[in-house]
Amino acid sequence: MNKPLRRIAIFCGLLVLALLIRDNWLQYVKADSLKDDPANRRVTIARYSTPRGDIVVDGDPITGSVETKNGDLKYKRTYKNGPMWAPVTGYASQAFGANQLESLEDGILTGNDDRLFFRKTLDMITGKQQQGGNVVTTLSAAAQKAAYSGLQQQGGKGAVVALEPSTGKILALASYPSYDPSTFAGNSTTTDAKAWKKLQKKYNPNDPMLNRALRETYPPGSTFKVVTAAAALENGLYTSADEKTDSPLPYIMKGTTTELKNEGSIPCKNATMRVALRYSCNTVFGKIGADLGNDKMLAEAKKFGFDSEQFTPVRSSASVFSDDMNSSQTALSSIGQYNTAATPLQMAMVASAVANGGKLMKPYMVDVLQSSGLDPVAKTSPEELSRPLSAENAQILQSMMETVVKEGTGTKARINGVTVGGKTGTAQHGVENSENPYAWFISYARLPDGSSPVAVAVVIEDDNAVRDDISGGGLAAPIAKSVMEAVINSKK
């Protein structure tokens, strides 16, 4: 071979080598980034070329898919009772992406998850169109309806979370006001874009797309006294519900000249913890927190889940109990004020741990992931998260919470034939407490056989209510009662 031909051959060989390197770079190294590139229209078209799988509650789908009339994206998402279920499902929109379960379980719902390889291969061999799998939730339709209807009738803002104490299954997860994900599931620049814009906080101060059950933290007020009582028992400060506490009246917080006051004239001087929880004595529980100190109170709060995000698998914001507080700050935090803040999920976890004999189970809302053929792909197993209380101390705290409902501030949560334990809370907020307080109620139901099928947390924020009419026992307890009854009746 002469020299010019040899040079041409070498040059062509280098071109082929460069082509092979480039091809392998694109197919293997850059494959994922190209697939996820928003400018890659073919991926988007393929994504919406088949119906999505469904999110399922009590055996029935609460989602669906429908063929679009225009454009190259064939199917869009539909929702049944969209506003009621939005805090669970999230949304899947051709124009605005997806969030919550629709996003986290997108691979299963579209059929692209690697765990569906066998099903995809079988469909390819048989020539069947690829189909998405299903996400089977732990939710109870009856409990969710009771929770959402209660919030809707109340008319303000708020949230409800219900758990099954023995497993951690989420039975209800409601937030109000809410939104219908169907209204912006397509990609129309007129209808879908306008519907999306109306839901944004910038244009809608009620912020209907905020998941208040998981993502909003509120001062928990007197419901946090359950955590403080648990800390007193676990640290041996008091050993029974009926032992008199060292609680002067008035109580001047250590290091200050400020009196920690109670609401009205109630029997709080040296009251037992049972009496103090029944009447919601700030002085008793504030002093307990100060006597235990920041470190012990923080340790107990963390056992209940404070200061940690929860993944259900949807992320829940971390509730807060602060470190490095002085005595008076610890006292205020121990009655659910100062920096203390909690999600409704967190306070449902508190009630759940007490109901479950001191054992806190990890909350979750996805029971089973299924292939399109309904074969199980993955199943969630209950998992213990922590032990905030010994079984003995849990029984003591149960008796205290049950007194609250029998003859204290939580009487509106009573259920005939069922033992109910609860705690009310009215949490102050705003500059110098200028805003309407938040109304809280946490509770659990215990059946005659000793089992506890449900624990609930309810929070109400109503800017239009008469301030003097706002109380956890008045606004939140009736909603908790209806949710507990729905769970109990659904098991009959």
Listed in sequence order, the DSSP H helices in 320-390 are: 327-333, 344-355
- The whole-angstrom separation of Cα 139 and Cα 354 is 21
Distances (CA, A) of 184 to 43, 135, 200: 20, 22, 12
Contact 443, 413 (CB under 8 A): yes
For the chain, give me the number of helices (H) and strands (E)? 17, 20
Instruction: Specify the 3-state DSSP secondary structure of 354.
Output: helix
| Pairing relationship of beta strands 259-260 and 251-252 according to DSSP bridges | antiparallel
Work out the end-to-end distance of the chain between its first and last CA atoms, rounded to an integer number of angstroms.
91
Beta-sheet strands, E only, within 139-216? 157-163, 170-176
Chain-centre distance for alpha carbon 67? 32
Helix (H) or strand (E) run with residue 149 in it = helix 141-154
User: Which of the following is catalytic: 93, 140, 182, 222?
Assistant: 222
DSSP for 267-329?
Answer: --TT-BHHHHHHHT-HHHHHHHHHHH-HHHHHHHHHHTTTTS-EESSSEEPPPB--SS--HHH
- The whole-angstrom separation of Cα 152 and Cα 124 is 47
- The whole-angstrom separation of Cα 173 and Cα 145 is 10
| Pairing relationship of beta strands 63-67 and 419-427 according to DSSP bridges | unpaired
The encoded tokens of residue 371 equal 């292939």
Contact 464, 157 (CB under 8 A): no
Give the closest residue to 439 by CA, choosing from 317, 338, 347: 347
> Cα 34–37–43 angle (5° rounding)?
80
φ and ψ at residue 292, rounded to 5 degrees: -70, -35
Chain-centre distance for alpha carbon 25? 42
Active-site annotation holds for 222? yes
Catalytic residues: 222
